[in-house]
Amino acid sequence: MRRRRRGGEHGGVEDGEEEAGEDAAPSTAAKMQRARSGRPRGAASLVALVALVALVLAGCGEDRRPALDGGPVDAGLDAAPPDAAPPDGGPRPDAGPPLCGAPLDVVFVIDTSTSMEAELLEVRTGIRRIWNAARALTLDTRFGLVVFVDDVVAVAGCTPFGSVEALEAELDRWWAFTSTNRQPNGGAASNTDCPENSLDALHAAATRCTWREGATRLIVHATDDTFAEPPALLSEAIPVQHGYAEVLEALTSRELRLGSFAAPGIGEFCGVAMTENVGVGWHEPYMGMPALPVATGGRAWNVRDVRDGELDMADAINELIADEYCTLY
């Protein structure tokens, strides 16, 4: 981009101006000289001075090339030509962001209770798009899966899936499972209350899944109801094992970012009651502690927007992955 030169546009003073002197009146020769030039001698000197100042200003003018953040760049007198490489040998400003080449680890933590049928189908429908978008960033991408209702199952011990087809097949199985109103581990207990065990599921993802050194680490969580803390018994049979603060520490100490599809405000009727506020911990702080997506540098989406057709889960997940890949925690 060309530089815009700054400087005076109107050098000198207007014609006809005279310099008021303190000495005697000018001589006849001086008057004749002024008549020929049409300009006072003092004005001519002022013209030269103004022209010199204009040249200096133009030479020291501000470089108006846009900086990388959109602001002006102060080139300075010793600035390198626009095409020169930075002194540290890094990429040129117009060369695009560098490829970091870091691994990418993604684990889905999904509520498979009856009310989550639509969301699980949405994940299943979009999983190939998610898989391909992640691998477009880096081929060194791994996906794992944890499911939960009141108890928790780390699918295949949370080992990474070897292919998108294997992950699709597993999501098909859990989508069908949502119609049973049972517990993922095959126990006898039915799901008879509103809270679901997000806390134990997130703790399992943090501590039982393999998170590689140097990888960008993401958890994608989905639920439509609240959680409980110890010593609560869910469905009067299944104890909650990990509290909110413990889960918060497990996520942040491992540098895990949490993207959560969760409902804000009053919960929907769950078959036995309605939760007063299902958004705490996801969209709002909980007991003086920050919401988990906020604390981990992730984000929270309204799961009701998915149900209303206003939010595409695959698009939202792909945006999260693209935004967070290769960024500092």
Digit-coded pLDDT (tens) for 101-111:
899 999 999 99
Rounded to an integer, the average pLDDT of 268-293 is: 93
For 142-169, the pLDDT digits (tens) are 999 999 999 999 999 999 999 999 999 9
Q: Are residues 110 and 65 in the same domain?
A: no
- 133 lies in the same domain as 257: yes
**Predicted local confidence at residue 93, as pLDDT:** 39
Q: What is the pTM of this model?
A: 0.71
Q: What is the pLDDT of residue 317?
A: 98
94 compared with 235, residue with greater pLDDT: 235
Does residue 22 fall inside a structural domain?
no
Q: Is residue 90 part of a domain?
A: no
For the chain, give the longest Cα–Cα distance: 122
33-64: pLDDT as tens digits: 443 344 444 444 444 444 443 443 444 343 33
pLDDT at position 246 is: 98
pLDDT for 28 beyond 70: no
pLDDT at 99: 63
DSSP H helices in 191-329: 198-208, 244-253, 292-295, 303-307, 313-324
* Count of other CB atoms within 10 angstroms of residue 291: 21
Which amino acid, 31? K
Distance CA(250)–CA(206), nearest Å, equals: 6
91 within some domain = no
* Confidence grade of residue 274 (pLDDT, cut at 50, 70, 90): confident
Q: What is the structure's pLDDT at 271?
A: 79
pLDDT tens-digit readout, 50-100: 444 344 344 434 333 333 333 433 333 333 344 444 444 333 334 344 468
pLDDT given for residue 37 in this prediction = 41
Same domain, 283 and 156: yes
**Nearest-angstrom CA–CA distance, 315 and 122:** 11
Mean pLDDT in residue range 289-299:
98
Q: Could you tell me if residue 118 is inside a domain?
A: yes
Residue 20 lies in a domain: no
Query: Do 39 and 187 reside in the same domain of the chain?
Result: no
Domain that holds residue 66: 28-84
Do the Cβ atoms of 279 and 240 come closer than 8 Å?
no
- Write the CA distances from 146 to 108, 116, 327, integer angstroms: 6, 15, 25
- Total number of domains in the chain: 2
Task: Classify residue 268: in a domain, yes or no.
Answer: yes
Q: Are residues 49 and 147 in the same domain?
A: no
